[in-house]
Structure 1
């Protein structure tokens, strides 16, 4: 996980190992935020964030609920304990492995009311409110056939009133998943925040997955007879224009596929609908491959910047 965090641009972090093939928690953060770890276990990482820009101090707990029902009460008591040790604006986010109400599950066995009541009680005891969401209603799914398909909202964010007052313009999204059986949660504490970035020309490794890339390079190469440095400069300018147009069409196409996937999830479960969903996921996987290559290319800069500055480090990553 340390390598994954570093490749994603988070040089600082803490990792709690999985037990067998389930669990495991990782927290990563950048150098422009001050994070103080308060406690951690196989169920949680509790930390305080000092926002230098906004001069805010608040608390976040990454939580992993007990998958087994017999350990659920122990997990809820951990939340109650965390609630008692520190008074700050508090956000708890993660996979709680439980639903609040029966309508948050579709398919499979009916959830025991006592289990859901235990979850509702601990949130009430800790004065934590569900933050809601945008996107598809469920966060976990298994089963490729209508007869075995199960969907549940197991992942969520909850926060106390002080946190919601501190970040009144927050937005929590259920992102479209294509690999995992869980969907990622994306929490933006201020949806009004936008950024403008200037970027220099770089040849993107992900471009080679685009069918039109080779033809564009051939056309640009043949369209100028200048000396090599000027020729390369013009090719770079042409590729930048091509990439800008490509990005617009790709974003529109990906958004269209995500909207179609959301609509498919609203239809009654059938073998035909699940087949269509699988096809859309495969198309999104290809887009994800391009995105992964995009960020992996940038991760090489992170390795050089944040890695151990010695010969074995560079040799290993070069290999």
Structure 2
């Protein structure tokens, strides 16, 4: 299944709708989550039907702000659980998978005074069943400082609050392919700001259900924000790139910290590039250590840090 999530920044004119239709025809998503439509339910229903989506849940904008829509094709069975001006939460049932999972389209507050309320909403949604859970959308926040380029540095307490809510909800970032940022403002270098505000998050249960999932950051045209396209079963004639996984037992190894320091000090490029090098080399180091210890009879499956 393909899911497209996009902060479209207004769907109020025919040219914008035509560009949206073009994007949908190009990527063929079965489910679409749109934010900042700035339309009422009747207006949004007309737009999504013109895009070929007969089924949908539309949330009114509040004046000239907000507006959400989640639409799907008939091949996917979707049941509404709850909605607000910040989220649409549904059950998804695919015949091919044969299992039910949760999908929450989420729009984080762009205003600092409302951000805690948005995070608490996510916590409330977490406590509503133990189904495999996927959350995607525009969170209007970054997890780490390197997810922003240009402008004023993000306050650490804001990023920590975002990291904490993900920890509380047992959600893990699914990563991405393509441009590293999803939002951009300013055409000139001295005023240009780029941030990764849109992402997909999932529980371990969901990732186990769809181990070959892939998120791509797509080019944007009429919005200052990139659409993100999630494919639950990505295939491209080649092996799917395995996601980096930090193993807890690594920190038990005497050489872990010295090896990490050595890799970092010998890496070149910007912060993002150095982190990519660190991930790859730590995986190779971990594989060597694991192979050596397994030959001694050490069982990593039962290893625990206490």
TM over 0.5: yes
Q: Does 2:227 match 1:184? A: yes
Backbone CA RMSD of aligned residues: 1.5
Secondary structure at 2:61's aligned position in 1?
coil
In structure 2, the partner of 1:136 is 179
Secondary structure at 2:190's aligned position in 1?
coil
- Counting only pairs closer than 5 Å after superposition, residues 88-237 of structure 1 correspond to structure 2 as 88-192=131-235
In structure 2, the partner of 1:40 is 83
Distance 1:121 1:172 in 2: 23
In structure 2, the partner of 1:78 is 121
In structure 1, the partner of 2:49 is 6
Instruction: Report how many aligned residue pairs link the two structures.
Output: 195
Secondary structure at 1:10's aligned position in 2?
coil
Distance 1:174 1:19 in 2: 28
Secondary structure at 1:5's aligned position in 2?
helix
Distance 2:95 2:52 in 1: 19
Distance 1:22 1:170 in 2: 32
Unaligned 5+ residue runs, structure 1? 195-265, 267-319
The Cα shift of 1:193 comes to 8.3
The structure that has the greater radius of gyration is: 1
In structure 2, the partner of 1:56 is 99
The Cα shift of 1:134 comes to 0.2
Once the two structures are superposed, residues 150-207 of structure 1 have per-residue CA deviations (whole angstroms, 9 ceiling, x without a partner) of 100000000000000000011100001122100000000001389xxxxxxxxxxxxx
Distance 1:100 1:45 in 2: 23
- Counting only pairs closer than 5 Å after superposition, residues 233-272 of structure 1 correspond to structure 2 as none
In structure 2, the partner of 1:255 is none
The Cα shift of 1:53 comes to 2.6
Q: Does 2:66 match 1:23? A: yes
Q: Give TM-score scaled by structure 1 length.
A: 0.59
Moved runs in structure 1, 4+ residues, more than 4 A?
none
Distance 1:171 1:112 in 2: 30
Secondary structure at 1:191's aligned position in 2?
coil
In structure 1, the partner of 2:8 is none
Distance 1:93 1:43 in 2: 12
Unaligned 5+ residue runs, structure 2? 1-43, 238-271, 273-306
